[in-house]
């Protein structure tokens, strides 16, 4: 399939618990049908708990286009389910941050996003795995986990992306520095034992946290993971780093370690929770790997975020 119009059957799954899911769901389906998307099944879910069973049924029904509306966590789960198959993923960014849509240059406007599904092109993108669990944007340990815990649904609905800034300020005051060991099973880097850390992150995509950039060179189609570790420091230093988050140039700051790899193992003592695209999903020790060109996804015709080369990693994830 090169465009969505070639699909035989499309299923639409919308998380009405996402920030804009409830208000946009019926309009989205109508717009896609009017644009020629062959929608034959529509499922509305109210929470992430309903997502696994619903998506399992949809994939088993044999649709070749799956359109998912919701936030980054919802889309990441769906991507993990269809990874390695010929099912094409369409995305309606209905969450708070919508960082994957930003990476793929999918419009936040609902009508334009539906048009992108109907008339866009199919590309293939990489998928990150953390102990087997999928992520598309960033996996992280440290401050970001506290931020996720502080991000209540009500706060996200009221403030949108600004909620991330409020939650970060609340979490920063309670953060306790930690130590971590980074190991590289592929042998491309020596192990890194780091102390007094604010955060460790592993990026597959380009954007995270409501528009921040993983690094100036990060991309979701580059077949590598961007790994960075930020050292704890006085508040004034973190303010300087925060000013550089939008374009990713913070990775050049003297208190930031940054490397790229296809496989990294993160060990902390004691074990710590890991945030995967806004969902706290696994704990350390964690193996992070990348699956090359794992997911076929529809993007706008003008998007330069990825291309279709059809070459997947033989035998599963690259390591």
Q: Which residues are known to be catalytic?
A: 279
**Is residue 210 within 8 Å of 103, Cβ to Cβ?**
no
Among candidate residues 71, 100, 2, 29, the one with its CA nearest the CA of residue 301:
2
d(CA 47, CA 15): 6
Angle 204-195-192 from CA coordinates, rounded to 5°: 55
d(CA 247, CA 251): 10
**Is residue 305 within 8 Å of 123, Cβ to Cβ?**
yes
H helix intervals, 231-304: 235-242
Tokens 């100036």, residue located: 216
Name the β-bridge partners of 124: 296
Contacts 24+ apart (CB under 8 A), 232-237: 232/175, 232/177, 232/196, 232/197, 232/198, 233/198, 235/172
Torsion angles phi and psi, residue 209, rounded to 5: 60, 35
Torsion angles phi and psi, residue 72, rounded to 5: -65, -35
């Amino acid at each position: 399939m090169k465009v969505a119009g070639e699909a035989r059957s499309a299923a639409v799954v919308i998380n009405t618990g996402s920030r804009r899911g409830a208000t946009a769901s019926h309009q989205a389906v109508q717009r896609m049908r009017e644009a020629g998307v062959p929608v034959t099944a529509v499922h509305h879910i109210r929470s992430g708990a309903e997502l696994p069973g619903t998506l399992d049924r949809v994939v088993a029904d044999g649709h070749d286009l799956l359109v998912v509306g919701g936030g980054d966590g919802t889309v990441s789960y769906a991507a993990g389910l269809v990874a390695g198959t010929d099912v094409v993923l369409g995305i309606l960014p209905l969450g708070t941050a919508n960082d994957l849509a930003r990476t793929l240059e999918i419009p936040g406007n609902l009508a334009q996003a539906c048009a992108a599904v109907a008339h866009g092109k199919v590309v293939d993108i990489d998928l990150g795995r953390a102990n087997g669990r999928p992520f598309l944007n960033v996996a992280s340990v440290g401050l970001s986990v506290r931020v996720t815990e502080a991000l209540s649904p009500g706060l996200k609905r009221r403030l949108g992306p600004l909620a991330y800034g409020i939650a970060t300020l609340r979490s920063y005051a309670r953060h306790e520095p930690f130590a971590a060991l980074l190991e590289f099973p592929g042998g491309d880097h020596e192990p890194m034992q780091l102390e007094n850390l604010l955060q460790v992150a592993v990026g597959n995509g380009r954007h995270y946290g409501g528009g921040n950039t993983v690094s100036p060179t990060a991309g979701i189609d580059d077949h590598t993971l961007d790994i960075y570790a930020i050292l704890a420091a006085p508040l004034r230093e973190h303010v300087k780093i925060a000013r550089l988050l939008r374009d990713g140039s913070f990775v050049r700051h003297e208190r930031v370690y940054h490397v790229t790899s296809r496989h990294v193992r993160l060990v902390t003592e004691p074990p710590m929770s890991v945030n995967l695209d806004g969902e706290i999903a696994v704990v350390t020790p964690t193996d992070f790997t990348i699956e090359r060109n794992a997911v076929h996804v529809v993007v706008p015709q003008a998007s330069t975020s990825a291309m279709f080369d059809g070459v997947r990693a033989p035998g599963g994830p690259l390591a």
